[in-house]
Amino acid sequence: MIGRLNHIAIAVPDLAAATALYRDTLGGDVSEPQTLPEHGVTVVFVNLPNTKVELLEPLGEGSPIAKYLDSNPSGGMHHVCYEVDDIIAARDRLSEQGARVLGDGEPKIGAHGKPVLFLHPKDFNGTLVELEQV
């Protein structure tokens, strides 16, 4: 059901500093910042030959990333994103198998303009999983 790894997301307390680190120190190809109010984050993507790294900064106090950074002030890996062909079929299959879809269970549009869902980390070895329809 899952396809290729789309990206690994890292929560950061300072997006400008993290962008500079990945761009200037590591020599990465970093996108322009993108504000996603519906997800409560501002993001940039570090484009790699085989995947991407998403750097996430909270957008306001109510952001889920703000809560994550309360527990992890230096930041850290937040989630992994896998591609799926049909997000509704994937959601239904996973739900039937007991996996918990976060939120209201309906896909939202993600940073790439495609439908996404998140799966509860307790169901996936402590890792928050994002599914993105390709």
Contacts of 24 (CB under 8 A, 6+ apart): none
* Residue 57 known to be catalytic: no
Tokens of 109: 């549009």
C-alpha closest to that of 40 among 111, 107, 102, 101: 111
Active-site residue (options: 54, 57, 130, 132): 130
Burial class of 98 by CB neighbour count within 10 A (0 to 12, 13 to 18, 19+): exposed
The residues carrying an active-site annotation are: 130
